[in-house]
C-alpha cells in the first residue's frame, strides 16, 4: 500500500519518503545487476529525509544539502539530544557524493552496504 501523499512542509511526508528510500535500499539488493553504491545512496537518502523531517517538526530552516553531519548539528543546536546510532549517519554522506559516480571512489562492499542500511534503519526508526 502506498502512503498517502502530504504537503512538503509536513514532516510525515518526509518520513514517508525516508521509508520509501529505505525500502528500496533493502529490497533491491536481491536484484541482479544492482550496484551497492546505488543502494547505499538510497540508504543515505532515507537518513537525510528522516533528519530533515525532524528539522521541519522543530521549525528549523535547513539548507538543501546532503551533509548529514551538518544537518544533525542543526538538530542539536535546536536543543535535541541525538542518539549515537543516529549521529553515525554522518558516515553516510559519502554515499550521496563520491560513490554515486563511477571512478570517484572505491567500490562499495557488501559489508559497507549492510552497515549503511543498519545505520539508516536506526535513523528512520
Q: Is pLDDT at 49 greater than 80 in this prediction?
A: yes
Q: How far apart are CA 26 and CA 46, in angstroms?
A: 11
Q: How far apart are CA 65 and CA 87, in angstroms?
A: 17
pLDDT at position 102 is: 77
As a whole number, mean pLDDT of residues 106-125 equals 95
Indicate the DSSP class of residue 29: G
pTM of the model: 0.91
Q: What pLDDT digit, counting tens, does each position of 10-40 carry?
A: 999 999 999 999 999 998 666 778 889 999 9
C-alpha closest to that of 121 among 18, 27, 31: 18
Q: How far apart are CA 28 and CA 59, in angstroms?
A: 34
- High-pLDDT (> 90) share of the chain, %: 76
Domains of the chain: 11-124 (1.20.120.330)
Q: Count of alpha carbons within 13 Å of 90, Cβ hemisphere only?
A: 12
Q: Is pLDDT at 50 greater than 90 in this prediction?
A: yes
User: How many Å separate Cα 39 from the centre of its chain?
Assistant: 11
C-alpha closest to that of 62 among 46, 78, 45: 78
Torsion angle of C-alpha atoms 4, 38, 49, 67, degrees rounded to 10: -170
Q: Which three cell numbers stand for residue 24?
A: 528500496
Amino acid at each position: 500500500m502506498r502512503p498517502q501523499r502530504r504537503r512538503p512542509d509536513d514532516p510525515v511526508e518526509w518520513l514517508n519518503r525516508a521509508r520509501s528510500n529505505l525500502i528500496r535500499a533493502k529490497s533491491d539488493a536481491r536484484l541482479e545487476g544492482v550496484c551497492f553504491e546505488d543502494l547505499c545512496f538510497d540508504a543515505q537518502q532515507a537518513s537525510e529525509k528522516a533528519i530533515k523531517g525532524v528539522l521541519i517538526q522543530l521549525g528549523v530552516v535547513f539548507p538543501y544539502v546532503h551533509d548529514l553531519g551538518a544537518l544533525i548539528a542543526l538538530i542539536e543546536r535546536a536543543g535535541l539530544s541525538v542518539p549515537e546510532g543516529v549521529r553515525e549517519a554522518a558516515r553516510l554522506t559519502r554515499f550521496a557524493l563520491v560513490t554515486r559516480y563511477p571512478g570517484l571512489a572505491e567500490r562499495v562492499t557488501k559489508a559497507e552496504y549492510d552497515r549503511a542500511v543498519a545505520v539508516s534503519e536506526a535513523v528512520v526508526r
